[in-house]
Amino acid sequence: HLFLHTRKKMRLLVFLIICQCGIKNVNSHSASNPNIILLMADDLGIGDLGCYGNRTLRTPNIDRLAKEGVTLTQHIAASALCTPSRAAFLTGRYPIRSGMAAYSRVGVFLFSASSGGLPSEEITFSKLLKQRGYSTALIGKWHLGMNCESSNDFCHHPLSHGFDYFYGLAVTNLRDCKLGQGSVFLKGTEKSIVTSIQIIGITLVSLATVHFIGFLKVPFQALGYCLLITAILLVVLLFFFYNFRYLNCFLMRNHQIIQQPLSYENLTQRLTKEAVQFIGRNTDAAFLLVLSYLHVHTALYASKNFIGKSKHGLYGDAVEEMDWSVGQILDVLEKRNLNTKTLVYFTSDQGAHIEEISSSGEAHGGYNGIYKGGKSTNWEGGIRVPGLLLWPGVIQAGTYIYEPTSNMDIFPTVIKLAGAQLPYDRIIDGHDLMPLLQGKIIRSKHEFLFHYCNAYLNAVRWHPRNSESIWKVFFFTPNFNPEDSNGCYDSHVCFCYGRFVTRHDPPLLFDLSRDPEEKVPLTPETESHFYEILDVILRAVDNHTKSLHAVPDQLSWDNLLWKPWLQLCCSSLFQSCYCDYESEENLPEVHSE
């Protein structure tokens, strides 16, 4: 018996040594200067993917990333809106630090001729990787500004932020970009416009009435000026919105507009083809590719090969077409023997936009699974996003990580993999993911995560070092409309202040480890450490606030508004800014070789 017992112990010891060697072999395979491919969806819900529990949408290629790589189950976007989330992603910093978080109601750029954008002083991972000799490309959506003072200074352009090559949209995809899809501006501002016109009309009629009855003498000249100014404003607004898609929805290659307005015909195929060709051009050199999909932001679209093929209408068709594109990227990596030399990451910039409903009543927004709320809110449905990483031989296949992580973590992760140094002159809020991905540590380095609604601190997440609990407090919450709904359907998105929110004193407290759906706020009666938890979080808020410095507001009204002298136009305004150097007949079929 002693002999058998000793033999079993020897076998166990040998097994452990073999396992340890195997683990060391995996970990040591982290070759220097790997290729980096970062795939970002737009407004994709975490519940839209098979690997996160969806059973009706077909996403086999994205699911493959999970099966052969790592799934982050608590991956958090730094903002619940496109522009600030993408700024945080590129810089590894909360958008409040770069001025990319708005104090006004509008939290994103809407016009190509706005003067705001990602400041040149900000350091992006693309800048640092380019300095390390990487070829860098951004294909797809940018949404971080274009010009500052003239229509060709390109101060905020991707090529000014470390990308060698750009093919895509300067701003974003909107309903107004596609004929027959309605207007996001009318949806969000219809009541305000009608009210303003009514007030102006009533004021003018009242002035005219009191003048004619002799109660108050109003100079006709003043009335005439009021009418003229009102008429001019209405004409300018009508001209701008009538020509919106010509002025704001265009496709660029580097600094040149190649299609104005944008055509949705085979658009995903064109983006995919550009990505595949970029990989092909850099087979023997390190590269960074950011493929920033237009899917599934409205206006929704899909090519004829995907239209009507899903179980969820046009939204489902768009998701499945994006999945096809991800498959094309994975296939070309395998065919060129680059898969073991390449880190692939897939995410969404924020949660699904659940208020998106077409004029015919079809749901054009996605599914956030069990999580409350959606885009523009800091409920989990707005900020908990897919986080999938694949790197065969370096990170273990089929791994699930339940710790809090952030899209800001990509910055330090890729910087360190490329052998570059993190900037020492600024705070980087992200943390290197590789120790967590490779199992060298089991706890996230994020003890606290701060959730901003535009520039206003909305909520805080705390994961204590000695506990499995994940506490989350809300200082205010959006007022859903209708009240019993899960979003802000009357205004199209939720806003961050005034009558649009309810403030809480004491703050609402949840334990996400027990209540991920954020259904039942805790109270001093249901949580004995209620005030102790709040005290720790408020001290963390104080320390965080002290680390912030005043910076120019890139999303001020002055920086947001359309400036005609900044307008990009491939012909002239008198020719309706029309050109098409990207016609379909000149496009060969997309191949992955």
Read off the DSSP letter of residue 590. P
> Nearest-CA neighbor of 111 among 84, 89, 143, 152?
143
Residues linked to residue 410 through DSSP beta bridges, in sequence order: none
CATH 2.40.160.40 fits 184-242, yes or no: no
Active site residues: 82, 143
Quick: pLDDT tens for 508-534.
Answer: 999 999 999 999 999 999 999 999 999
Long-range CB contacts for residues 254-257, cutoff 8 Å, separation at least 24:
254/159, 254/165, 254/166, 254/167, 255/152, 255/154, 255/157, 255/159, 256/570, 257/568, 257/569, 257/570, 257/579
Quick: pLDDT tens for 312-368.
Answer: 999 999 999 999 999 999 999 999 999 999 999 999 999 999 999 988 889 999 999
Residues linked to residue 363 through DSSP beta bridges, in sequence order: 357
Q: Where are the domains of the chain?
A: 35-174+250-443+552-566, 184-242
Q: How many residues are given for the chain?
A: 593
Q: How many angstroms separate the Cα of 131 from the Cα of each of 5, 114, 120, 453? A: 59, 29, 16, 34
Quick: pLDDT tens for 180-196.
Answer: 888 877 755 555 556 66
Tokens for 346? 């897939």
Task: Write down the residue that tokens 């296939």 correspond to.
Answer: 331
Task: Output the DSSP codes for 498-549.
Answer: GGGEEEEEEEEEEETTT-TT--S-B-TTT-TTHHHHHHHHHHHHHHHHHT--
Q: Please provide the average confidence, as pLDDT, over all residues in the chain.
A: 90
Quick: pLDDT tens for 529-581.
Answer: 999 999 999 999 999 999 999 999 999 999 999 999 999 999 876 667 899 99
pLDDT at 593 over 50: no
Helix (H) or strand (E) segment spanning residue 194: helix 184-212
- Pick one of 3.40.640.10, 1.10.10.10, 3.40.50.970, 3.40.720.10 as the CATH number of 35-174+250-443+552-566: 3.40.720.10
Q: How far, in Å, CA of 70 to CA of 415, rounded?
A: 20
